[in-house]
Amino acid sequence: MRWDTVVELPEPADTEAYGEELGRELAAGDLVVLSGPLGAGKTALVRGLARGLKVAGPITSPTFVIAREHRPLPEGPGVPLVHVDAYRLGMVGSVADELDDLDLDTDLTEAVVAVEWGEGVAERLAESHVLVHLERRADDVREARAERVGVRA
């Protein structure tokens, strides 16, 4: 995984491969925040995360459902993925509080949580997390940069 480096992602498949690479490095209790504008590729990246973590799909862009739980596949490390679309929720509070309110079946300390978030909001996060920032260039190539923010629990 190329941390703290801007990576060019020309095609959706490149974004998925990047997410897959990241997914292989994640462990239970990790929070991944995906920030970037509409259509930047946040959901495409989560699709790759699911592949790297080996959890069941499909990863979709939820319109009504704001959080989806993806169960581990037998061949994977056994960590479920919770995919939250806070972009549509307009979430402003702490991620932990908002997730509590969703009343999910999955114990979040035993899952990887990936949250799609709008621009600038991630900077206000107190919890330690992996921040992936995605940009869409004028030539349609995406640029991604992943960093670990704060101390890992």
Ligand X SMILES: Nc1ncnc2c1ncn2[C@@H]1O[C@H](COP(=O)(O)OP(=O)(O)OP(=O)(O)O)[C@@H](O)[C@H]1O
The binding site for Mg ion (CB under 5 A) comprises 42-43, 61, 116
Applying CB under 6 A, among 87, 114, 117, 146 the residue interacting with ligand X is 87
Instruction: Compute the radius of gyration of the chain from its Cα atoms.
Output: 14
Whole-angstrom CA distances from 117 to 36, 44, 46, 56, 83 are: 7, 14, 12, 22, 11
Asked if 80 and 69 touch (Cβ cutoff 8 Å), the reply is yes
Which single residue brings its beta carbon nearest to ligand X?
Answer: 41
Structure tokens at 65: 């459902």
What is the smallest separation between the CB atom of 44 and ligand X, expressed in angstroms? Answer: 4
Structure tokens at 32: 């991944």
For residues 40 and 76, which CB has a smaller minimum distance to Mg ion in the complex? Answer: 40
For residues 58 and 74, which CB has a smaller minimum distance to ligand X in the complex? Answer: 58
Binding residues for ligand X (CB under 6 A): 9-12, 14-15, 36, 38-44, 61, 87, 116, 140, 142
